[in-house]
């Protein structure tokens, strides 16, 4: 297998639906870093993020048949799988327990040698933190924690219309930030 | 509809990042089909997002790929890539060598020894079998020969019995035929049934006729020789022709099949009736 082999997105998707190992290897090499970043921005712990990444690629491999290229790019589809998997991980009991232990050890040892990556250093988090607090809270809840617009409206006790408008405005601003 | 306003609203970002409600998503997907500029804006944001993500990629721990491929080991298609036809030929793999348990080794060794013994015995028994078959064939031929001989002897003995019965018959007239002058050693006897007039010949002492020659019996009736038949290859008495009346009998050596008149120079024996 030529390691410099390039595929167009259509070729890659076709080969993946045929369960082609070389194409899947290419997919991993090409996208794992980007997806790992997005998972890390949600779960923080690099070990748990790595496990989630593996789980995400298994899902991609098994569900490639349901990808519809007319609705969007392959990366967007994979990003949403990764984000949903990462949010599911944070909601699992095991994860919440390990996070408690993590914060305990951090206070004692000041996170010396910890595998925990300070998620605020990640680009995605950094940009979100640059937004107005009333916007960033919505993105944190919606994007990083997976709350629906309805849930956020109830949680923050603001009208759904306002949530919708603010979220859109926040994302619009975020778009400008990452574009520059 | 004001597509520009819609595009600027931030709904595209909300949708792409997976935060749109199902209604919002359905609306956007429908509008993308209707308005190419919305579809273009959607695609542009996706590209920006992807480009940014690629630029900010964080390499995952190296063990993940290994573990992932181990997990999916048997899920991949077995055929090789179409653009690499050379790889369709699978490399030959040496047969795996499997270590045996010690009791299995003894068992295997014993099995091999038994197989060798069995092979040796097979050769030995086959040669024995061939030999015995040949002997059996020889015996079969011998048996058939003996059986044939036995039948010949039985026939001969039956003939002799019949001959003896005839000779003992009170109706049977015995005519002794001693050797003619010069052939005194020879001797033959004619048995003549007085009732049926059948003639039987007993060649007591006649030399073996030469090839192509046969003894012929003559009955002398009213001074003239009458053919009484040639002597075939008979055991005991030879049945000759029926002769109603005769004064004398004689035997000459004639050509095979007999002659119409006797060759007197070749007369061997002769005897008068009565």
Of B168, B199, B217, the domain-final residue:
B168
pLDDT at B27: 92
DSSP 8-state class, residue B175: E
Total number of domains in chain B: 3
Torsion of CA A119, A121, A123, A129, to 10 degrees: 80
For residue A116, tell me if it sits in a domain: no
Q: What is the CATH number of the domain that holds A151?
A: 1.10.10.10
Residues A40, B48: C-beta atoms closer than 8 Å = no
Residues A157 and A82 in one domain: no
Give pLDDT tens digits for B22-77: 899 999 999 999 999 999 999 999 999 999 889 888 999 988 999 999 888 888 88
For residue B96, tell me if it sits in a domain: no
Q: Which residues, other chains included, contact A5 with Cβ-Cβ below 8 Å and sequence gap of 6+?
A: A22, A26
For residue B77, tell me if it sits in a domain: no
Residues B241 and B210 in one domain: yes
For residue A115, tell me if it sits in a domain: no
Q: Which domain holds residue A141?
A: 122-179
Residues A171, B10: C-beta atoms closer than 8 Å = yes
pLDDT at B230 over 70: yes
Contact A79, A59 (CB under 8 A): no
Dihedral angle sign, alpha carbons of residues B32, B33, B35, B39? positive
DSSP 8-state class, residue A146: -
Residue B109: HSE in the Cβ half-sphere, 13 Å Cα cutoff? 7
Of A75, A109, A143, the domain-final residue:
A109
Alpha carbon B215 to chain centroid, angstroms: 54
For residue A128, tell me if it sits in a domain: yes
For residue A18, tell me if it sits in a domain: yes
Residues A100 and A128 in one domain: no
Question: What chain A residue is nearest to B7 in terms of C-alpha separation?
Answer: A172
Check if B40 contacts A (Cβ < 8 Å).
Answer: no
Residues of A whose CB is below 8 A from B45: 175
Check if A61 contacts B (Cβ < 8 Å).
Answer: yes
Confidence band, pLDDT 50/70/90 cuts, at residue A74: very high
Residues A105 and A34 in one domain: yes
Contact B7, B41 (CB under 8 A): yes
For residue A100, tell me if it sits in a domain: yes
Of B135, B168, B201, the domain-final residue:
B168
Check if B27 contacts A (Cβ < 8 Å).
Answer: no
Of A65, A85, A109, the domain-final residue:
A109
Structure tokens at A105: 């050890």
Residues B13, A168: C-beta atoms closer than 8 Å = yes
Give pLDDT tens digits for A125-174: 888 888 888 888 998 899 988 999 999 999 999 999 999 999 999 999 88
Residues A99 and A126 in one domain: no
Residues A26 and A75 in one domain: yes
Structure tokens at B142: 């011998």
For residue A114, tell me if it sits in a domain: no
Model pTM score: 0.54
For residue B79, tell me if it sits in a domain: no
Give pLDDT tens digits for A151-165: 999 999 999 999 999
Check if A143 contacts B (Cβ < 8 Å).
Answer: yes
Q: Measured between alpha carbons, how far is B174 from A118 in angstroms, rounded to an integer?
A: 152
Question: What chain A residue is nearest to B61 in terms of C-alpha separation?
Answer: A50
Residues B262 and B176 in one domain: yes
Total number of domains in chain A: 2
For residue B26, tell me if it sits in a domain: yes
DSSP alpha helix (H) spans, chain A: 9-17, 21-43, 46-63, 74-91, 93-109, 123-130, 133-139, 149-156, 160-179
Nearest CA distance, B123 vs chain A (angstrom): 57
Residues A93 and A162 in one domain: no
For residue A3, tell me if it sits in a domain: no
pLDDT at B115 over 70: yes
Residues B242 and B202 in one domain: yes
Residues A165 and A79 in one domain: no
Residues of B whose CB is below 8 A from A143: 17-19
Residues A104 and A17 in one domain: yes
Q: What is the CATH number of the domain that holds A101?
A: 1.10.1740.10
Residues B53, A174: C-beta atoms closer than 8 Å = no
For residue B108, tell me if it sits in a domain: yes
Give pLDDT tens digits for A88-123: 998 886 777 766 665 554 444 433 443 455 555 677
Check if A86 contacts B (Cβ < 8 Å).
Answer: no
Residues B57, A71: C-beta atoms closer than 8 Å = no
Residues A89 and A151 in one domain: no
Give pLDDT tens digits for B85-107: 444 445 566 666 666 677 888 88
Backbone angles phi, psi at B103, to 5 degrees: -65, -30
How is the beta sheet containing B213-221 ordered, strand by strand? B224-230, B213-221, B248-255, B267-272
Residues of A whose CB is below 8 A from B60: 32-33, 36, 49-50, 53
pLDDT at B17 over 80: yes
Contact B204, B189 (CB under 8 A): yes
The SS3 assignment for A4 reads coil
pLDDT at B178 over 80: yes
Q: Measured between alpha carbons, how far is B252 from B188 in angstroms, rounded to an integer?
A: 12
B249 CB burial (10 A radius; 0-12, 13-18, 19+)? buried
Residues A146 and A95 in one domain: no
The helix (H) or strand (E) run that includes residue B251 is strand B248-255
Q: What is the CATH number of the domain that holds B235?
A: 2.60.40
**What's the mean per-residue pLDDT of chain B?**
86
Residues B243 and B192 in one domain: yes
Check if A33 contacts B (Cβ < 8 Å).
Answer: yes
Residues of B whose CB is below 8 A from A125: none
Check if B212 contacts A (Cβ < 8 Å).
Answer: no
Residue with tokens 């004064």: B247
The phi-psi region of residue B197 (left if phi > 0; otherwise alpha if psi is between -120 and 50; otherwise beta) is left
Q: Measured between alpha carbons, how far is A101 from B141 in angstroms, rounded to an integer?
A: 106
pLDDT at A177 over 80: yes
pLDDT at A79: 95
Give pLDDT tens digits for A8-36: 888 899 999 989 988 999 999 999 999 99
Q: Measured between alpha carbons, how far is A38 from A80 in angstroms, rounded to an integer?
A: 10
Among residues B184, B187, B213, B212, the alpha carbon closest in space to that of B201 is found at: B187
pLDDT at A36: 94
Residues A143, B29: C-beta atoms closer than 8 Å = no
Residues of A whose CB is below 8 A from B86: none
Of A109, A139, A168, the domain-final residue:
A109
Residues B29 and B9 in one domain: yes
Interface probe for B, chosen from A7, A34, A118, A165 (most Cβ of B below 10 Å), is A34
Q: Which domain holds residue B147?
A: 101-168
């Amino acid at each position: 297998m030529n390691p410099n082999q390039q595929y167009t997105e259509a070729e890659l998707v076709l080969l993946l639906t045929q369960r082609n190992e070389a194409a899947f290897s290419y997919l991993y090499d090409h996208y794992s870093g980007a997806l790992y970043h997005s998972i890390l921005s949600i779960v923080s712990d690099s070990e748990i993020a790595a496990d989630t990444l593996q789980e995400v690629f298994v899902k991609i491999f098994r569900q490639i048949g349901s990808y519809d290229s007319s609705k969007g790019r392959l990366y967007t589809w994979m990003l949403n799988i990764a984000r949903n998997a990462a949010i599911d991980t944070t909601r699992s009991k095991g994860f919440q327990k390990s996070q408690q232990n993590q914060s305990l050890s951090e206070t004692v040892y000041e996170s010396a040698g910890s595998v925990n990556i300070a998620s605020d250093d990640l680009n995605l988090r950094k940009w979100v933190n640059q937004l107005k607090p009333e916007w960033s809270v919505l993105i944190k809840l919606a994007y990083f924690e997976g709350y629906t617009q309805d849930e956020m409206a109830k949680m923050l006790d603001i009208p759904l219309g306002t949530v919708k408008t603010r979220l859109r405005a926040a994302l619009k601003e975020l778009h400008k930030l990452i574009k520059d | 509809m004001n597509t520009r306003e819609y595009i600027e609203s931030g709904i595209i970002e909300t949708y792409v990042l997976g935060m749109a409600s199902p209604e919002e998503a359905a609306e956007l997907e429908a509008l993308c089909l209707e308005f190419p500029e919305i579809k273009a804006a959607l695609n542009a944001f996706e590209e920006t997002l992807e480009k940014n993500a690629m630029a900010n990629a964080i390499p995952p721990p190296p063990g993940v790929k290994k573990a992932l491929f181990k997990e999916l080991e048997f899920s991949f298609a077995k055929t090789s890539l179409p653009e690499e036809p050379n790889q369709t030929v699978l490399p030959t793999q040496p047969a795996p060598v499997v270590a045996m348990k010690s009791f299995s080794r003894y068992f295997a060794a014993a099995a091999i020894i038994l197989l060798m013994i069995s092979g040796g015995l097979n050769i030995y028994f086959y040669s024995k079998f061939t030999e015995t078959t040949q002997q059996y064939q020889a015996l079969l031929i011998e048996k058939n020969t003996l059986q044939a001989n036995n039948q010949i002897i039985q026939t001969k003995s039956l003939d002799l019995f019949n001959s003896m019965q005839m000779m003992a018959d009170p109706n049977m007239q015995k005519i002794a035929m001693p050797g003619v002058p010069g052939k005194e050693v020879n001797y033959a006897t004619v048995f003549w049934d007085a009732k049926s007039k059948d003639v039987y010949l007993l060649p007591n002492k006649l030399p073996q006729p030469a090839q192509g020659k046969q003894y012929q019996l003559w009955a002398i009736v009213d001074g003239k020789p009458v053919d009484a038949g040639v002597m075939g290859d008979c055991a005991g008495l030879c049945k000759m022709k029926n002769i109603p009346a005769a004064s004398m009998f004689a035997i000459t050596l004639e050509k095979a099949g007999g002659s119409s008149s006797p060759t007197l120079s070749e007369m061997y024996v002769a005897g008068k009736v009565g």
